[in-house]
Structure 1
Amino acid sequence: YPKEGQIANPENGYARINGLPFAPGTNLMEKYLEVNVTQNAFPCPSPNVNIESGSGGSQQILVNGIVFQQQNGVGAAAGNIFEWTAYSTQKANVCASLTFVLHSANPGNYLTPPPLFDKTAESKLFSSILATFAWLNP
């Protein structure tokens, strides 16, 4: 992950990487990555699929020879929008899920809304991070 990223709350197979860089001056408030690792999870979906009512599509993709289940969705809370894309993969009995989140302010909450962020541009970093994923051999 980029050097600006800071690991927060690492415990019990979960960590969040905060502080991922993004373009200022838009409604994007933060960009972060959640990493979840569980054992004996069959199938191996993103944990967000179970908690977000706005869960969307799902497809398989191949990145560096690793098959990922890509899932996406949108959540909302008190004027905030959380757009997420998760990539989950499994090896033996271990499920790893990387969930990339774009947290923005709902522009409808402003008399003069800030410019909307560029989702395509802001998501490029996520592809770069995902491309570094590798299973470690014990």
Structure 2
Amino acid sequence: MNIADYIAVTTLTFIVMEGVTWCTHKYVMHGFGWFLHEDHHQPGYPHVFEKNDAFFVVFAIPSILLFYFGIRPELNFMFFIGLGILLYGIAYFLVHDVLIHRRFKWFDKTNNQYLKGLRKAHKIHHKHLGKHDGECFGMLFVPFKYFNKRQ
């Protein structure tokens, strides 16, 4: 494989991770993993860390393993799949924890329509405090209606 192939594998993995995240959020976090995700839907949760943060570890494990096996015996495509997962995890952290939930006050005053749309979609997701009847399970790709300036 050449450098263009590695870039393509990393990019494709990043894009596929949105689908993986959507499915995990809808069917695991709002399904049998609700016991870990529930505190995330409670307004004013008073702790720095949530049980929900365990999902970061769950997603980090395959990335770490792919990095490990992606350099043995020499650099191979698995390393770049792991890199795509890592880059998506960084994007997820920045969008979800920093921009939307403001666990860190880094992007408090954004006027970017895309970022405002992501924030709006996630607010709609969180209006449902329970496990059922949720909507907007994606993170970086959400329905176009949330980007409407008139809303």
What TM-score comes out, normalization by structure 2 length? Answer: 0.25
Q: Which one has more relative contact order, counting CA pairs under 8 Å at least 6 apart? A: 2
Higher helix share: 2
Higher strand share: 1
